[in-house]
Structure 1
Amino acid sequence: MTTDTSSECYHCGLPADPQSQYHAVVLGKDRVMCCPGCEAVAEAIVDNGLEDYYQFRTEPAAQGDVNFQNTLSKLSVYDDPALQEDFVYDDGAHKEIQLTVEGITCAACGWLIEKQLARVNGISQVSVNVSERRAAVSWLPDAIQLSGILNALKKIGYTALPFQPDQHEASYQSEQKQFLKKLGLAGLMTMQVMMLMTGLYFDLFGSIERETRQYFYWVALVLTTPVVFYSGSTFYLGAIKAISARTVNMDVPVTIAVFGTYIAGLKATLLQSGEVYFESICMFIFLLLLSRYLEHRSRHRATQISANMMQYIPVTAQRLDADGNITACLAKHLLPGDKVVVKPGDTIPIDGRIIEGSSAIDEAMLTGEFEPVIKQVGATVYGGTVNQKSTLIVEVHQQLKYALVNQIIRLQSTAMANKPKAAQLADTFSRYFVVAVLFISAATYTYWYWQGNDEAFWIAIAVLVATCPCALGLATPSALTCAMARLNKQGVLLKRADALEQLTTISTIALDKTGTLTEGKFSIVQSWYLTGQDPAHLFAVAASLEARSEHPIGKAFSCNNLLTVSDFAVNIGGGISGTVSNKQWHLGSAAFTGTDAQTVPITANVFLTCEGQCLAAFEVADGLKPDTAATLALLNQYKLILLSGDTQRNVDSLAAHLPLTTATGSLTPEQKYRAVQQLQAAGEQVMMLGDGINDAPVLASADVSVAVGNANDVARNAADVVLLSDSLSAVPALLDIAARTRNKIRQNMLWAIGYNLLILPFAVSGLLLPWMAVIGMSLSSIIVVSNSTRLLK
């Protein structure tokens, strides 16, 4: 065994005394450590058979905890059940938590954490998101405690704490800043190197001495190096992650192309022989970074959500004790059996059962339907809904974290975790393409070397450069970037670019009703007045009564000629009554007004009676958006399925005016979710359009989900595509651009592969010089980008 005499800590890279008492054997060598924390971390990594981490990593780890043992003992505080109430979810057999993990520096860290925790007895599932520095962990509470999980992470150098939602936006901002720094550097250096090298290639500087030319090469090398090692690091980390997972993605050929051309140029500069092509490296990295940045920005704009995803979950409650006293408390502290007082206008703090009072409850945040639901004694109410009319006393059924609104959010997370993801077509091609190019380059070098050709190395480099997957690497991102730019102009934001590919496979479109197909407000669809009566007067009577009502239906009766109303009364769930012009009037349902709906020649749901006689009837409904019918007519090649939480009667009434395949009403959020799951199980590719928190689970489970412009933040977060406008007219355009984008990607890839097959014989035979290969490679990339820009037209 050899000893490492380095003056830096092998684990974290900080200065360390070569005579330090802290050592660990890593990769067959005795390594110097700077502190007991780093020593403990390194030993834990080695003891668990995970020392490959030190080979995979691209940056030093964070320094271990100097007070390592004290820190481990302090973690036991997280085992306190009271402390876990806020961030641990108990599903019975398992417990789940989201952790913020400090110290993650690269993809290898995610690999290390997953491998380490997978070895810990009692941990059922681990998923690490490297970019967001988060880990989702599920464990058996009988086998291990939360402190044991945090200890296991601490032993390999990572500090983990319960995830705080407000860090989500900060993570996006940090990533965006990194993109801008790398993109700015690549763009600046690309301009400089392009001007310098173009002048050399075409001898724009005139006849210059060899020493001066070599000086320019060194300048280009200096300018290119930070682009390669800093700006291009995004691709290398992705490639390392893919390779460590024993797979290949698009970052692998990009990495090979960059380092292949860079090393070839470096060698040419050092040997003062041959051409260099640093400008191609800079341009390649700049274009790829630009497309990824635009994709990242579009995704960020589409997920402009509040820092707290639990904004719909109540915070406080008014608890009623056994002596009749009312005290304020946190809703999360309520236990089953507690009683709470909910006054008119207050948010119901928790799921429970009404034991006193009756009222109209606004459940729009759960059902998506704005019409209040009448609740009597014994009825179930849900946390987050709003009491509109009368004071209620509610008996608590279960703790807040098990409330329906929390179940919806957890169901959304589960659906997003199981979302099917189509692989990029380019990934499939590049997996074989890269191997083939490397094999051919190696074979070419071997052949010319045994032939005694002094240019064997450069011929092999020419093969690698000429067939460098620059065009293949740009084939997909350039098309996606142009497609997203075109969609952005039409008010459509994509949160994930591969949704465009999945849109081309859609066979069924599922739609929510209220707020998606309809305007989200009541209007009078049709009306009937008894012959011989003055319609204007009757409507003024109805509008005068509704003006005194707080029911949303009242907004449909708008009139500037209101009459005086006296003896006004409200019958919850029935209608309203009052005296107008010395006559007693009733306005409401057929049962409330005593009307036989069959005697009215229209399909009505609001009736106006005077002293027992029906004088007018109205069909009041949430009207369709102006372009709904025309938009659905353009989508007639798909199965159109309506999934709504509204009553079946209202759904049938709406469906009669639209080209729908089926229309189902009275669905809960979970029933919508199951309906889409059944369609997918039957082989259908489903796109879902919705707007409410109740649509979040089904949006997350669909193959592609679309949130309309008036959608709330939860629905936007669950969706893959966000429409900035309330109109659905952008949906046909979205599907059309998706189809065109797929065709452009295929054309680009066919050209990229065709070009490589065409140029390969010339490169292998030695007829193609390196500078010719650079021009060919650049021209191929330009053709691909130019073809993609046609999507902007």
Structure 2
Amino acid sequence: MNSYDAWAHPRLAAQVLRPRRDGHSEVALRVESLQGAQQVLRLEQAIHALPGVRGVSVDAPARRVRVVWDTERTTLPSLLQAFAAMRCAAQPLRSDSIDDTRTRESHDMLKRLLVAGMFAMQVMTYAFVIYIGVVDFVDFTTRGLFRWLSLISTVPVMFYSAHPFTVGAVQELRERRLGINLPVALAVWLVFFASAFSTVHGTGEIYFDSVTMFVFLLLAGRYVELRARHRSGALGDAVIDGTPLLAERRKADGTLETIPAIELLPGDCVHISEGSTVPADGVLESSRIQVDEALLTGESTPVTRQRGEHLAAGSVLLTGPAQLRVEHGGDATAAARIGALGAHARLTREASVLRSDVELRRFVARVLILTVATAAGWLLFDPSRAFASAVAVLVIACPCAFALTAPAALTRALGVLAQRGVLVADSAALAVLDRVDLAMLDKTGTLTVPHLDPPDIEVLRGGEASTLLAIAAALARESSHPVAQAVANAAAGLPLLRAEEVRVTPGGGISGQVDGRELRLGQITFALGSEAPRSDDRLWLADAGGALATFRLRERPRHDAQATIDTLRGEGVDILIASGDTSSRVAATARTLGIDTWHAAQTPEDKFELLKAARTHGHITLAVGDGTNDVPVLAGADVSAALATGTEVAQAQADLLLLHGHLRGLIEARVIARQVQQVIAQGRRWSLGYNLCAIPFAALGLVPPWLAAIGMSLSSLAVVVNAWRIGRQQASQPVLHA
């Protein structure tokens, strides 16, 4: 049985197939090898040729393909084999990942754009005949006919293509707020009704060409912005789709069985073939392998993992095969948590943009006041020109470019940062990050990582150092704390032991059973009891009979800590260490990294008081941490960042998540945040300058509505294109000269 035959199992197929009302089935597939338009076209043609296939939809940026077909005529294994034959191996995704929203939104906007474009060209053809009448005689019957044809051709544009603007304007009026849709809807409907009135009565000017062109160009700008936003969202999908649905579990008799990965339980032994994707988080039981962790860390360089080290779901095995002991599966994996955070970030971004754009409402109010003033002025001097001039002002001053600036810039910024290993949970942080003047950093796990060398192990009783280290590592693997991970990493290559009934005590240590013996690993007071001296800073391993060994962990700065601190300090940011560790260790780290201000033995409450004092003195603060004790400062700082190697509670409170555990992500984020603010400022300066130059001409009746529509639409497109340049230049270089 090949790997595709497993998908014939009803329980497994039920996870990925979504039944449709027409009796067909739908599946979403992850296809990593999609490259180029020609390959996409060949793949579509090959899949369409299969019996029973009704539709194929390819989303190249997201590396997704959706197929609708009759499973009675072509089975799911046969469909997957067809993809493999095209050298486009496909991985089925869970049926709940089939989200029609993005595809439906894109298709709807494209259809409205095409309708507007088709009828705009037709109306321009009719208008050409009418314009000829200005310089050459065209009889009134012919002119009337073409005016009516223009009206008929404009109706689909108004009631279909312009429908989003109309609905948006009604919604804004219901909510009693001024937004971008209100002036757009007013402009197109006023012009349409006035032109329709002139057509019916056979006198007066008509502006059907202006209306249709205006709607078409505005839809074109929105479609470009929509595609950019969807491309950014596809990055989050790549993380969510990274975990496979199938896994090969080793049974008690040593044979392998193919099961859904979601059914993996802690303690299961999983076989991973070379080139396959790791289906769950767990501990490596093979001696030595190489994996590609680019999906999770952003680093394309292969990583070597040894026995006892952790593997994350979504990693790709480059050398193998390998055996994995499962720790977390399904929605509890690191890839699933990161994907969920990315989805939350996109929702938060859209909500924050909607809440914060107060300036847009003011801009719209000024445009409406200026339009009324223009109409009133012309009514006093030349009523025949009042309507055309007012419409030209309303169209040319439309705040589309103003409104698109922030969403386009933020969409681009979040996509660039995701590619560079930084997830933004709250886009409002990018507006503050560049203005930060004080960074409060945790020490252990943030600035430094613990390290254990074999000479730092002192055996008290119970065996050799390697034996006791293997026992300690069995407990340490059950915790994500940096100290525990240092012990686990030091035991790489030693026999792998399994701990049972493990209990983690925050601030104390880990207890559990190894080979039936009750053991404790942690601080001396935790391992030996409350009567033990409190001055010892070693890690202790003990059983019911007392201490077995001590481990003196040493700390070393993260490889990029010094460069990050130097860069922040060079940009005028004061650095402060707030740590719960002892004074000697904090002082040593501060001295190594050249940090003058530090605070040791800090409780979570102490850290929060330091933060409050800094904010009271007017500082804009950045808090960086990785542990549960950092949660108060992460929640209270102006901007907060957490490392992906930290606790889930810390990650949930942070505005930024550094996926690959590198502090240089802070510098990347500040660079992009600076460029975002530049783009937003440039876009709004451009909008202001454009309006100051164009509105006087429109108010004086020198700009016809059709020319105003072209100017407004090109202005909006310029803003969107400018936002694409974020992340392509250094922070010191201007993105666009306004």
TM-score category (smaller protein): 0.5 to 0.7
Q: 1:350-369 maps to which residues of 2 (within 5 A)?
A: none
Tell me if the contact between 2:353 and 2:407 (Cα under 8 Å) persists in the aligned partners.
no
Tell me if the contact between 1:298 and 1:493 (Cα under 8 Å) persists in the aligned partners.
no
Q: What displacement does 1:268 show?
A: 2.5
Cα deviations by residue, 1:366-387 (Å, 9 ceiling, x for unpaired): xxxxxxxxxxxxxxxxxxxxxx
Aligned match of 1:699? 634
Q: Distance in 2 between matches of 1:297 and 1:704?
A: 26
Q: What displacement does 1:727 show?
A: 1.5
1:267 to 194, 207, 213: 194
1:440 to 370, 373, 376: 370
Highest Rg: 1 or 2? 1
Q: What displacement does 1:657 show?
A: 2.1
Quick check: 1:506 aligned with 2:436? yes
Quick check: 1:767 aligned with 2:702? yes
Q: Distance in 2 between matches of 1:717 and 1:688?
A: 14
Tell me if the contact between 2:224 and 2:720 (Cα under 8 Å) persists in the aligned partners.
no
Aligned match of 2:565? 632
- CA distance 1:213–1:193, change in 2 (3 Å): farther
Q: Distance in 2 between matches of 1:242 and 1:643?
A: 47
Q: 1:346-745 maps to which residues of 2 (within 5 A)?
A: 427-428=358-359, 430-519=360-449, 522-524=450-452, 541-549=464-472, 552=476, 554-555=487-488, 557-558=490-491, 605=538, 619-636=552-569, 637-745=572-680
Tell me if the contact between 1:302 and 1:716 (Cα under 8 Å) persists in the aligned partners.
no
Q: What displacement does 1:780 show?
A: 1.4
SS of 2:598's partner is strand
Q: What displacement does 1:183 show?
A: 4.9
Quick check: which one's helix share is greater?
2
Tell me if the contact between 1:302 and 1:495 (Cα under 8 Å) persists in the aligned partners.
no
Tell me if the contact between 1:303 and 1:495 (Cα under 8 Å) persists in the aligned partners.
no
Cα deviations by residue, 1:16-37 (Å, 9 ceiling, x for unpaired): xxxxxxxxxxxxxxxxxxxxxx
Aligned match of 1:777? 712
Q: Distance in 2 between matches of 1:672 and 1:297?
A: 40
Q: What displacement does 1:499 show?
A: 1.9
Q: What displacement does 1:488 show?
A: 2.1
Q: 1:312-327 maps to which residues of 2 (within 5 A)?
A: none
SS of 1:640's partner is strand
- CA distance 1:679–1:189, change in 2 (3 Å): same
TM-score by length of 1: 0.49
Q: 1:266-345 maps to which residues of 2 (within 5 A)?
A: 266-272=193-199, 273-274=206-207, 275-281=209-215, 284=218, 287=221
Q: Match of 1:463, as an amino acid?
A: V
Aligned match of 1:255? 182
Q: Match of 2:640, as an amino acid?
A: S
Q: What displacement does 1:776 show?
A: 0.9
Q: Match of 1:627, as an amino acid?
A: D
Q: What displacement does 1:465 show?
A: 0.5
Q: Distance in 2 between matches of 1:213 and 1:722?
A: 59
Cα deviations by residue, 1:191-218 (Å, 9 ceiling, x for unpaired): 3212431454478999997646744554
- CA distance 1:635–1:771, change in 2 (3 Å): same
Q: What displacement does 1:253 show?
A: 4.0
Q: 1:121-140 maps to which residues of 2 (within 5 A)?
A: none
Q: Distance in 2 between matches of 1:260 and 1:422?
A: 25
Q: What displacement does 1:633 show?
A: 2.0
Q: What displacement does 1:228 show?
A: 4.3
Q: Distance in 2 between matches of 1:672 and 1:200?
A: 68
- CA distance 1:479–1:463, change in 2 (3 Å): same
Q: Distance in 2 between matches of 1:501 and 1:617?
A: 48
Tell me if the contact between 2:232 and 2:411 (Cα under 8 Å) persists in the aligned partners.
no
Larger deviation: 771-780 or 205-214? 205-214
Q: Match of 1:670, as an amino acid?
A: E
SS of 1:791's partner is coil
- CA distance 1:675–1:242, change in 2 (3 Å): farther
Q: What displacement does 1:181 show?
A: 4.5
Q: What displacement does 1:757 show?
A: 0.5
Cα deviations by residue, 1:625-677 (Å, 9 ceiling, x for unpaired): 32222222221131122233334443333323224342323333333333322
- CA distance 1:195–1:487, change in 2 (3 Å): farther
Q: Distance in 1 between matches of 2:162 and 2:146?
A: 24
TM-score by length of 2: 0.52
Q: What displacement does 1:431 show?
A: 4.7
SS of 1:635's partner is helix
Q: Distance in 1 between matches of 2:599 and 2:237?
A: 30
Q: Match of 2:358, as an amino acid?
A: D
Q: Match of 2:639, as an amino acid?
A: V
SS of 2:426's partner is coil
- CA distance 1:475–1:203, change in 2 (3 Å): farther
Tell me if the contact between 2:126 and 2:149 (Cα under 8 Å) persists in the aligned partners.
no
Pairs aligned (count): 457
Q: Distance in 2 between matches of 1:185 and 1:684?
A: 47
Q: Distance in 2 between matches of 1:746 and 1:284?
A: 22
Cα deviations by residue, 1:505-535 (Å, 9 ceiling, x for unpaired): 211122233333344xx423796899xxxxx
Cα deviations by residue, 1:138-174 (Å, 9 ceiling, x for unpaired): xxxxxxxxxxxxxxxxxxxxxxxxxxxxxxxxxx999
Q: What displacement does 1:686 show?
A: 0.9
Q: Distance in 2 between matches of 1:471 and 1:511?
A: 39
Q: What displacement does 1:702 show?
A: 1.3
Q: 1:48-87 maps to which residues of 2 (within 5 A)?
A: none
Q: Distance in 2 between matches of 1:256 and 1:196?
A: 22
Tell me if the contact between 1:706 and 1:721 (Cα under 8 Å) persists in the aligned partners.
yes
SS of 1:252's partner is coil
Q: Match of 2:614, as an amino acid?
A: L
Tell me if the contact between 1:639 and 1:660 (Cα under 8 Å) persists in the aligned partners.
no
Tell me if the contact between 1:491 and 1:724 (Cα under 8 Å) persists in the aligned partners.
yes
Q: Match of 1:716, as an amino acid?
A: Q
Q: Which runs of 5+ in 1 are unaligned?
A: 1-171, 244-250, 307-416, 531-539, 563-571, 576-586, 594-602, 609-615
Q: Distance in 2 between matches of 1:424 and 1:660?
A: 39
State the identity as a percent: 27
Q: Distance in 2 between matches of 1:715 and 1:293?
A: 33
Q: Distance in 2 between matches of 1:518 and 1:271?
A: 76
Q: Distance in 1 between matches of 2:708 and 2:562?
A: 55
Q: What displacement does 1:732 show?
A: 0.4
Q: Match of 1:188, as an amino acid?
A: K
Aligned match of 1:567? none
Tell me if the contact between 2:626 and 2:650 (Cα under 8 Å) persists in the aligned partners.
yes
1:187 to 105, 110, 114: 110
Q: What displacement does 1:758 show?
A: 0.2
Q: Match of 2:159, as an amino acid?
A: T
Q: What displacement does 1:761 show?
A: 1.6
Tell me if the contact between 1:629 and 1:658 (Cα under 8 Å) persists in the aligned partners.
yes
SS of 1:726's partner is coil
SS of 1:454's partner is helix
- CA distance 1:302–1:560, change in 2 (3 Å): closer
Q: What displacement does 1:762 show?
A: 1.0
Tell me if the contact between 2:434 and 2:674 (Cα under 8 Å) persists in the aligned partners.
yes
Q: Distance in 1 between matches of 2:575 and 2:613?
A: 15
Q: What displacement does 1:744 show?
A: 1.3
SS of 1:687's partner is strand
Cα deviations by residue, 1:417-469 (Å, 9 ceiling, x for unpaired): 9xxx99999633x4543333222221221222232342311111001111111
Tell me if the contact between 2:122 and 2:153 (Cα under 8 Å) persists in the aligned partners.
no
Aligned match of 1:362? none
